[in-house]
């Protein structure tokens, strides 16, 4: 029995929505990457 490989969790932040969606789509296609969220800026509110 093989142990599951550890996954990499990622938060994608970019101010360009088209770029952000492209990066998220690419990362979601990878087996060991989990996109936990995305944001348009890094400011705390």
**Closest C-alpha to 24, from 42, 16, 7:** 16
Q: What is the pLDDT of residues 8-29, one digit of tens each?
A: 999 999 999 999 999 999 999 9
pTM of this structure: 0.78
CB 13 within 8 A of CB 38: yes
What pLDDT, on the 0 to 100 scale, is given for residue 44?
79
What pLDDT, on the 0 to 100 scale, is given for residue 3?
61
Q: Which residue has the tokens 């929505």?
A: 17
């Amino acid at each position: 029995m093989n142990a599951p490989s550890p996954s990499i969790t990622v938060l994608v932040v970019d101010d360009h929505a088209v770029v952000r969606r492209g990066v998220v789509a690419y990362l979601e296609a990878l087996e060991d990457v989990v996109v936990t969220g995305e944001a348009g800026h890094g400011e705390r509110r």
